[in-house]
Every structure is written in structure tokens, then in C-alpha cells.
Structure 1
């Protein structure tokens, strides 16, 4: 029997939206997957030919691009940041809706006009997307790389602005920040390792199953 197909799924909010989708595809993880006390990272499913691994969202793309996983679920923000040539993203899953935005302190925003920027200093975990976005407008972007707690950067003087994912906007508001520009709308995608797509016969039917599951997804 061939080794199981491995699907990489992200920890956090997207995972909760992905589980019903996986169920419609016919994939149900073992009980330990839902055990918050479990430190396991690889899990079996109701299908002997499919295993799940649960990793950080940014790492999903890396595992799939390098062939350690065959498929994955990841936000389009991650695909924009890394642009791995080894990845194929055939299905927009229609979950994980949010946006990648520029934010700054409300007091600054009250007298600021993004159209007048010539140079910005920004804290973000998306330096590639941020620089590309601003370079297209002729604006120089100095990026300070952070992996979390982005909202602290303006408060503590690390950088006056941030680029981060925004969903409800509550976290920004609670830290005195406001959105001033949207870089991209974000949804989660099914990604596939290109080599696996060509060499593992089970992958194409799985992709088709995800496509059908999205088509019947509740509004």
C-alpha cells in the first residue's frame, strides 16, 4: 500500500472553518485532533489513505512546496508572501475571509493622507507583499519583520504603521489603530504540490472532491 496522502491544515481560526469542509469531502480526523491537551502534530483520519498534519499557517505552504505534505489549506496572504513555484492553488475554498490592510494610530490617521506618502516604516510579517505593494505606487517601504503582536509596534515606537490581517477590526480598535488602506482581500485556498499532482493518482480526485464540497457550501 502506498504511503498516505498528507494534508497540511493551519492552526487557529481557519481550521474551525475548514473542518466542516473536510467533512463534506469525506475526511474526518481521529478524536485526538480535537483534544486541546494533545501535543501531536500528525493525525490519522477515517480514511486509511489520508493523514492530516496541523502546523502554523505560514508553514503550510512550506510543507507542501517541499513535498513533505501533498495538499494543504492556506490563506491567499501566505501564497502572496512566498510565491512558491512548486505550488498549485486550484480551488478557492471560500473560507477564512479577511483582508490584508495598512493600519496606523487613529490620531495619525485623522491628519494623514496615504496618497501623499513617499516613504513608510511598517511592522509586518508580510515584508514581500508590503514592499511590492508600495513600490508599485512609487513609495519606499522600510519593513520591520515581526511574527505577532503587530499592534504593539506603533504604541512602543517600533514603527508608526503596520500591515496585518484584519477580520472584524476589533483588535485594531482595542489598540487605538484604524485601517487606512486595504492591500488585498484574502480567502483560504486548497494548495497542491505540483509533483504530487502529476505522480500521485489519488490527488486529482481529492481536488475534485474539494471543488464539489465548495460548490455545496452553505451560504
Structure 2
């Protein structure tokens, strides 16, 4: 049995995906001590987990330090790494939308869009024929329309509560997001049987 290295984001996605692996019949300990560990070895299954920041997972997979990984569709669309997308796990479901102050139109000359997702935002507005200026921010995107920095924001939405609390409304639904199982192209060839077996077992759980 070939050894598999799996890169996973820390936190809720790890917990949900790890439980899915248990449900799929993998012999993993029910409880994992995750406080400070970044590498978790499961010798019985010849599996090693790398716990990473969500944006780093596709990077680890592309460079082959992880054979497979779990990454949000938002991260995959934004980073456009050379990885194979194998399966939609249908966990951490949300979507990317544009939002702004109510009853406002976008500036006609180069409207400004604040976002953590410059590539997704630029591609979306290009597709609908809008020329925009992208302002890349890393935190508190909702502030941008309130302080006059941007006409719209493009951000991830799960419940919409954060937008509401900041007096913003949704304007355009851009794309749906969920966690995907991805693979390194070389690992996918070299460890094909092992990876395919994992995918088919996970498929049964996803339904």
C-alpha cells in the first residue's frame, strides 16, 4: 500500500473532512490532538496529514509535498494552481457575491471593487463587460463601501449576516463554493490505485 500525504486546512474543514474519512471506513483515531501539531501520522493506514492555512493547501499539492488535499473552490479559482480537482465534498458550502450600500449604482468611470479575491473579481467583471479597478484588501472588506474606498466588494458569503450587520446588500451572485478534493498530477499517476480507492470511498459518503 503506497503512503499518502494529505494537506488539509486547520479547523472546521479538517474536522468535517476527517469525519468523512472515518465514515468512509478509514482506520483513523476518533480524536486527534490538534492543538499544535502540523503533521499527523496514521501508520495503520499509511496516511500522513499536513495541517495548513487554506490558501497554502493547493501550493503544497501542486509542488508534490502532498499527494492530495482539500481546498475551497474559492481558493482554487483564485490561485489557479496546477492540480487535478477530483471530487466536490459538499462541505463548507457558501458562495461568492458582490455587495455594496443599498440603492447605489456603480461609478460609471472605472468603478472600484474591494476584495480578497482579485482574480475572481477581475474575471467576473471582465466576463460581464465591466472595466473595474480592483483594490486588494485582506481584512474587514465590508468597510470599503462605508468609507468610500470602493463601490462594491466581492467576498465570500455564508449566511449574509455580516453584510446585513454592516448595512450592505448583495448585488450579484458570482459563484458557488464548497470544499474539493484535489490531487498532484504526478501523484495521481504514480499512486493512481490508492487515490482512486480513496475517491470512490469518499464518493459513497458524499452521495
**Which TM-score tier does this pair reach, normalised by the shorter chain?**
0.7 to 0.9
Distance 1:132 1:6 in 2: 33
* Count of residue correspondences: 204
Distance 2:162 2:185 in 1: 37
2:28–2:45 CA contact under 8 A, matched in 1: no
Distance 1:156 1:40 in 2: 40
Distance 1:159 1:43 in 2: 43
Residue 32, structure 1, aligned to residue 33, structure 2 = yes
Paired residue for 1:203, among 186, 195, 203? 195
* SS of alignment partner, residue 33 of structure 2: helix
Distance 2:46 2:63 in 1: 20
* 1:97-176 equivalent positions in 2, closer than 5 A: 97-105=93-101, 109-112=102-105, 119-176=110-167
How far apart are residue 207 of structure 1 and its match? 1.9
> Residue 46 and residue 27 in structure 1: after superposition, are their counterparts in 2 closer, same or farther (change >3 A)?
farther
Q: TM-score normalised to the size of structure 2?
A: 0.88
How far apart are residue 117 of structure 1 and its match? 5.6
* SS of alignment partner, residue 173 of structure 2: strand
Q: Cα RMSD (Å) of the superposition?
A: 2.2
Paired residue for 1:49, among 46, 49, 59? 46
Distance 2:163 2:12 in 1: 17
How far apart are residue 92 of structure 1 and its match? 1.0
Q: TM-score normalised to the size of structure 1?
A: 0.83
Q: Structure 1 stretches of 5 or more lacking a match? A: none
> Residue 136 and residue 94 in structure 1: after superposition, are their counterparts in 2 closer, same or farther (change >3 A)?
same
* Matched residue, 2:168: 177
Q: Structure 2 stretches of 5 or more lacking a match? A: none
> Residue 47 and residue 135 in structure 1: after superposition, are their counterparts in 2 closer, same or farther (change >3 A)?
same
Distance 1:50 1:182 in 2: 38
* Matched residue, 2:90: 94
